[in-house]
C-alpha cells in the first residue's frame, strides 16, 4: 500500500504566538524550526512511508524538507486543514493509497511508533485518529483512501474527525501514540516538553539542543 506522509508548516515567524509570554520571537522561531526538523527526520526514517510531502511557504522549512528528500508543496492556504488538503490533492495525483497527516510541532515523535501505527490492519475505508495529550485535538490522521474525509483540525477535532468518518461510511478508530501526544502550543506544553526530555534519550535531538541554549524570558 503506497503511503505518503504530509506535514504542514506555517511560516516560522508566525508560529507559536501563545509562547510569547515565555519566549521572544527569535527564540520561538528557532524552537519551531528545531521541532519541525525532528518531526521531519522521524518521518523520513519510517519504513512504512513511501514518500513525504511538506506543505509550507517558509523557506527554512522548505530547505529542511529538501535536505530530507521530501517534496515541497507551496502553501497557498490560510489554515492547517486547507494546507493538509493541498497535500492530499498532490498525493492522489501520484497514486497514494493512504496518507499520514502529522503535526510538525511534535518533536518527540518516534519512528518506531509511526511504523507501528501504519502497520495496523484497517478496512478499505478507515480513519485512524491520533489524539493530543488532552484527548480533544488531533496530532495525526491516517486516511485510507487519502480523500476518505476532509481534515478538520482545531479545537475539538478528535470528535469531529470521528463524526466525519462515520458520515463517510468509514471506520474511525482513536489510537493513542505516546510520542505524538505532546504538541507544543502553550507555556505549559513547553514545560511538559522540557520535563519529558529530561527523562528520555535518543529523540528530538534538534529540539533538545536548541532548548539547552535558549533563555526563556518574560517580556516586561
Q: Please report, in tens digits, the pLDDT of each residue of the chain (220 residues total).
A: 699 999 999 999 888 999 999 998 999 999 999 999 999 999 999 999 999 999 999 999 999 999 999 999 999 998 999 999 999 999 999 999 999 999 999 999 999 999 999 999 999 999 999 999 999 999 999 999 999 999 999 999 999 999 999 999 999 999 999 999 999 999 999 999 999 999 988 889 999 999 988 744 444 3
Q: Note the pLDDT of residue 1.
A: 63
Say whether 180 sits in a helix, a strand or coil. Answer: helix
Closest CA to 93 of 150, 146, 168, 148: 146
Domain covering 3-213, topology: Spore Coat Polysaccharide Biosynthesis Protein SpsA; Chain A (3.90.550)
Q: Note the pLDDT of residue 162.
A: 98
- What does the buried/exposed string (b/e) look like for 49-60 if buried means 16 or more CB atoms within 10 Å of the residue's CB? bebbbbbbbbeb
**151 secondary structure, DSSP code:** -
Count of all residues that appear for the chain in the document: 220
Q: Note the pLDDT of residue 14.
A: 87
Can you name the residues that pair with 127 across neighbouring β-strands?
143, 172
125 by Cβ neighbours in 10 Å (0-12 / 13-18 / 19+) ranks as middle
Closest CA to 70 of 97, 39, 93: 39
List, in order, residues 6 or more apart from 148 with CB less than 8 Å away: 125, 126, 127, 165, 168, 170
Q: Note the pLDDT of residue 97.
A: 97
156 by Cβ neighbours in 10 Å (0-12 / 13-18 / 19+) ranks as exposed
> In 68-156, where does DSSP find H-type helix?
80-93, 111-118
Amino acid at each position: 500500500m503506497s503511503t505518503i506522509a504530509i506535514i504542514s508548516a506555517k511560516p516560522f515567524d508566525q508560529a507559536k504566538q501563545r509562547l510569547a509570554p515565555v519566549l521572544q520571537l527569535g527564540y520561538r522561531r528557532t524552537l519551531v524550526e528545531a521541532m519541525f526538523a525532528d518531526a521531519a527526520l522521524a518521518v523520513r526514517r519510517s519504513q512504512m512511508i513511501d514518500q513525504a510531502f511538506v506543505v509550507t511557504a517558509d523557506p527554512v522549512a522548505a530547505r529542511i524538507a529538501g535536505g530530507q528528500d521530501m517534496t515541497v508543496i507551496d502553501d497557498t492556504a490560510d489554515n492547517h486543514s486547507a494546507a493538509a488538503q493541498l497535500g492530499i490533492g498532490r498525493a492522489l495525483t501520484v497514486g497514494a493509497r493512504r496518507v499520514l497527516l502529522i503535526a510538525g510541532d511534535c518533536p518527540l515523535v518516534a519512528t518506531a511508533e509511526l511504523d507501528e501505527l501504519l502497520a495496523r490492519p484497517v478496512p478499505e475505508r478507515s480513519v485512524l485518529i491520533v489524539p493530543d495529550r488532552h484527548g480533544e485535538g488531533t496530532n495525526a490522521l491516517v486516511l485510507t483512501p487519502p480523500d476518505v474525509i476532509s481534515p478538520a483540525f482545531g479545537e475539538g477535532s478528535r470528535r469531529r474527525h470521528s463524526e466525519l468518518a462515520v458520515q463517510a461510511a468509514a471506520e474511525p478508530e482513536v489510537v493513542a501514540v505516546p510520542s505524538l501526544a505532546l504538541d507544543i502550543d502553550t507555556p505549559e506544553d513547553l514545560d511538559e516538553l522540557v520535563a519529558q526530555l529530561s527523562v528520555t534519550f535518543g529523540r528530538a535531538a534538534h529540539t533538545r539542543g536548541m532548548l539547552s541554549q535558549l533563555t526563556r524570558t518574560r517580556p516586561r
